[in-house]
Structures are given as structure tokens and as C-alpha cells.
Structure 1
Amino acid sequence: MKPIHAAAAALALALSPAFAMPALASEDIADQYPQSELYSKPVEFIPHVFSAIGATAPPTYENSGHNNNLSFVITGDGVLVVNGGASYRLAKALHDEIKSITDQPVKLVVNENGQGHAFLGNSYWAEQGVDILAHVDAIHEIEEEGDFVLQGMQGYNRDKAEGSSVVVPNLSFEDSTTIEMGDVTFEVLHLGPAHGPGDTQVWIPQWGIVIAGDIAFHERMPPIFAGSCTKCWIETFDGPFTDLGATYVIPGHGHPTNMAQVTRYTSDYLKDLRAKIGEHLDNGGNLADAYYVDQSNWAHLDTFEELATKNAGRVFEEMEWE
């Protein structure tokens, strides 16, 4: 194995608990890699583990829908990619970067969930003959909602949507599956209900790193979907996810960090919002006023303006029936 990349050495210091501070992120940061469809160039964060960090803004034509993390691991006998990408062209751009780094072939793509930025690039990977793996619930979501999601991407991405189509993963798992590739063992996990159906984590125990997907946030506000169970999300996060004991975390969005940071901005945020909504309900509050419970402690997070009131309303609707 080669020595640690210089950037990874600096990151190791930043990830220590004493230095756990929010990484600089903003919805206003312009495209960091204009010569590519990718929003940012892939960076090797620990040896052999790379990630192209997406914009924290919603998907737009300007960021080509690259608003999540597209990660890959070079194993010595092939490459494992996490997330198919938001379009055919975006997946190809990622593959071009991989081929500039290694001659090893991509052998497996893992979709972290059934959202467009995880699977709309599957059309490119399938064309290359690469196997695609997702949780059974994510596959169901893709089958049910895929055409609608594709139309949404075509709406904002226009000419950049060329070549994209809905391709359902050809491999599935339920609770977990183990992948041996080169000298790396991957545990592909569904730890329980969290952000959405089929949330998937890729755990590499020998290196203490989890490619967490959307169970974990820290630079942007976690979005709570209609029908989400925030109580379940907290239980999954504080239980089996925390129990992994990961040293490094690549979240679904935002820069790699550590468990302390994603706990602060995911589990602690959800607990705080539920406490505020619970107090509001105890005082006889209604839905109209629930949108405006105090979330000022989290106002520095990207997408706060887009998500804070929606999150409050959805938690009210959830807790009203608990």
C-alpha cells in the first residue's frame, strides 16, 4: 500500500475530536471543477478511498445535479463505487477520473438509496457491464418512482440529461452483504430506518471508515421526508450506526468528518427538533405555528432556509400521532 496522501494527513488532524469543527461549505460556492461535469475533483481522503464532494445546494443545471458525494475505493483488484450519480454524463465524468488514477476496472456500483442522485447514472454503469447493488427497498422505490425522478432531472439538467434512463440495480440485499475485493472487505449494510427507504452504508472495518450515505449529515440540514420516522432515524443512528465505531465518516453530503460531528448535526438536531415540537404539542399548538418553532441553533447549516420549516411541519405530523 502506498503512503498516506498529504491531504489525508491534514484531514486526519482535522478529524480528531479536538479539532471537530464544521468544514467550510456554502450554497454560494461556485463550481470547483469547471472542466468536468463533476462539481469537485475527487480527493483521496484516506489511502485508497476517494470522494468527489457534491454541492450542498439543491440540484441545478449549474452543478449538473452533483449535490451528493460520489465515492470510490481502489482495492488492488478492482474499484468499488458508491453512488451511480445523478445522470449518465455525471457517471461518465466520475469514471473518467477513476481511469486517470488507476487501471483497475470498476467492478461494482452501490446505490446508497433510491434517490435520483444515487441511481440516475446507473444507465452509464450498466452500459459498461458493471454490476449495480442496492437495498431491496431502494430498488422498490426506483421501480415505483424512477420515471418521475428522471423527468425531474431532465427538467433542471436539460441537455446534460442526455443518455440518462432508469436502470434498476441487478443485485439486491436485505440486511447486509459482504463484498471481498482485492485486499479489502466491504460490509454493505442496511442498519434500519433513517433518512429514507433502503438507506445503505458501506463499512470498511479494517480502515475504520464508513461511507454513510444519507443517514449522516453535518454541513447541510438533514431533510425530513413526508412519511419519515425521525424517532426511528434517531434509534438507528444512536444504535447500530454509532456502534460501528467508525473513525472516519463520508456522509451522503458534505466533506468527510468523524462521528462526533455527524452526531451533533444529525441525531442531536433531530432530538432538538422533536423536543421543540413535543413542547409545542403539549401546549396545544397547531401545525401552522409548528413551522416556526425555534431552530436558530441550526441556522448556519446550508439549506436551512429551504428545509427548516418543512422539517418542523413533518415532525409535527409525525409526533401528533405518536
Structure 2
Amino acid sequence: MLPDPEVVEVSDGIFAYIQHDGSWCLNNPAFIDVGDQVIAIDACANERRTRLFREAIASISPNPVRTLVNTHAHMDHTYGNCLFSDDAVIIGHRNCRDQILREAPGQLERVSVMFPAVEWGDVTPVAPNVVFDDTMTLYAGELELQLIYVSPAHTNTDAVVWIPERRILIAGDIIFNQGTPFALMGSVAGWRSALERLKELPIDTVIAGHGPVADASVLDEVDAYLEFVQDSAKSAYDAGVDPLQAARDLDLGRFGEWTDEERIVGNLHRAYSELRGEEWGAEIDMATAFGQMIEFNGGQPLRCLA
């Protein structure tokens, strides 16, 4: 039994909504009460969890949610968009909008096969209706919110929200804290490049896409894991070992204590693509990668408690 989601006020009027234990589909939205409205960053994976998020916002602020920012296109951050779209502008990177629209037909059926125990509820994919390319600035009362595109990394659609006055980074899935990062749909090398860029910011507080609120040292933790993936992939690739066997042969060390360790298989698939000289974020065989992740998981469906 998981603990209830937790609202954490990380700075005056800025809140993280922590969904324990941060594993598959248990993401962390955030919200900012700016006095006359609320800005939300990300929705949740299904109807029930998004309604709970909205109730948490309402318990703290009487103000309406007028703006919703999507950090990337993955369904655990966007399926709940439809519960905001009647009243809020939805903002995301251009690639985020494009991917949601492209994948919408049949997506619910596909994810239901991947996560058969999840009740998605009454959700309809809704894409951002305001898009940006590299950066965008929102003014929230006296705060400046800088939306910064950092892809390819976790996906080809990632953006972060940087609040310089408070030195807060709302990282989306650029940061998994105590959970295994997942680069299959993005780029291992690109993700490390994004982290180097973000390390230049004077960050005090990080709201991770999954896992507890952290300080800036969590960027180094994620980077260390991605470096481990690259080093492990290089050795196995040079030896002609396929990603599944390479994952089985690996000693994950301290990274094995994180949730969702089967993601190492998908991460090796992505790292192999880059070792072959393919473009960061290039299309690869997702069905094979996910199938091998399930094999690594003992043939059991991926653990999703949404």
C-alpha cells in the first residue's frame, strides 16, 4: 500500500505534489499560486490521480488553474490534461504537442497492454495549444518562469521550468530521484549534455519528475547513472553482447537500489544506437526493447501502481 500523495511547499506559493513511490507513472506535478490564478506544471497519468491533484490544489488555493505547462509528452504527465483543458491554456514544446497528436490514436489501448492493472478512467489525449521552440518566459505575479527546451534527453520533447528568483528547478523527467532514469525514447548522450547545461544554473531546489524533492546534487546522481550506462554499453557492444544479456550480466551496484531497474535494458538499447553512430533520439525498435525489459523482469508486466 503506497502512502497518499504529499504536497510539499518548496518556497512561498510554490508546491510539489509528490506521488510515492515515484515508479512507473507516479510522477510529480507542481503548482504555483500567483495570487489571482494557479499555474500547474504537468498533470497525472489517469483520471483518478489527476482529480486528486486538482483537489490538492483547491485545498491550498481558491484560485483557478489558468495555465498548465507540460514538461514533456509522456502520458503520465499529460493524460490528465483533459481535466484542465476547459479552463486553462496548455503550454509545451512544439515537439510535445506533435508527439501527443501523433500518438493519440490507439494509445490508450497500447498502454493498457503495457500496464494492464491500471484503471485509466475517462481520459482523452489533449495536446498543448501554445507551443515554443527553444525558450519561453511566463510571468507569474512577481516571479519569472523560464521554460527551457533541453532535448533530446529523457525524450525528444523535454523542457524544464527554471524560477531564478527562488533558484528552483522544476525538472520534469530530466530528474529521477531514487528511481532509474529512462532514456529509451530520448538520448543517453543528449541527456548528459542537458545536465551539464543545467548544472550552470545556481540551483538550490529540484522538483524531480519522479521521487523526492532534492538539492542540486541530484543532477550529479542522474549523470553518474547515465555515465554508467554509457560505459557498460561500450564494453558489451564491443564484445558483441546484446542489450538484454548485457543487462543480465551487469552488477548495478548502488543503482540497483532504485526503482524500476529493468529500465537498464531500454537504456542499453538507446546507448547501443548511439554507439552505432545514429543520431541522438533516432527511432529504434521500441517493441523489442520493451519486450526485453519484460523478459528482464522475469516475464512479468512492468510494475505500475498508478
- Give the alignment of 1:57-76 within 5 angstroms: 58-59=23-24, 65=25, 67-76=26-35
Which of 229, 236, 239 aligns to 1:280? It is 236
Is the contact between residue 190 and residue 199 of structure 1 (CA under 8 Å) also seen in structure 2? yes
Which string of whole-angstrom CA distances, capped at 9 and with x for unpartnered residues, describes residues 156-214 of structure 1?
58895333111121111111111112121111111332110210101100000010011
* Structure 2 counterpart of 1:55: 20
The one-letter code matched in structure 1 to 2:122 is: G
Q: Which amino acid aligns with 2:246?
A: A
- Which residue is 2:92 aligned to? 134
Structure richer in strand, relative to its length: 2
The residue aligned with 1:186 is: 145
- The one-letter code matched in structure 2 to 1:180 is Y
Question: Structure 1 residues 174, 297: closer, same or farther in 2, change over 3 A?
Answer: same
1:172 corresponds, among 110, 128, 131, to 131
**Does 2:220 align with 1:263?**
yes
Deviations 1:85-134, CA, capped at 9 Å, x for gaps: 2123332221222111112221200111111011111111013x111111
Gapped runs of 5+ residues in structure 1?
Answer: 1-29, 34-39, 60-64
- Correspondence for 1:196 among 139, 147, 155: 155
Q: Is structure 2 residue 247 aligned with structure 1 residue 318?
A: no
1:32 aligns with 2:3: yes
CA shift digits 1:251-299 (9 cap, x unpaired): 11011101212322x11111122122223344x3322643323322311
**CA–CA separation in structure 1 for the residues paired with 2:116 and 2:30:** 22
Work out whether 1:246 is the aligned partner of 2:203: yes
TM-score in terms of structure 1 length: 0.78
Q: Which residue of 2 aligns with 1:93?
A: 52
Change (3 A) 1:319 1:159: closer
Contact 2:44–2:50, Cα closer than 8 Å, also in 1: yes
The secondary structure found in structure 1 opposite 2:128 is coil
Contact 1:116 1:149 in 2 (8 A): no
Partner amino acid, structure 1, of 2:225? Y
Which structure carries more relative contact order (alpha carbon 8 Å, separation 6+)? Answer: 2
CA distance in 2, matches of 1:57, 1:250: 12
Cα RMSD of the aligned pairs, angstroms, is: 2.2
Q: Which structure 2 residue ranges, 5 or more long, are not aligned?
A: 279-306
Aligned residue pair count? 275
**4+ residue runs of structure 1 moved beyond 6 angstroms?**
none
Structure 1 residue 57 displacement after superposition: 5.8
* Greater mean deviation of Cα atoms: 131-140 or 310-319: 310-319
- Separation in 1, partners of 2:23, 2:175: 17
Residue aligned with 2:175, SS: coil
Q: Distance in 1 between matches of 2:29 and 2:73?
A: 15
Give the equivalent residue in structure 2 for 1:234: 192
Percentage of matched positions with identical amino acids: 24
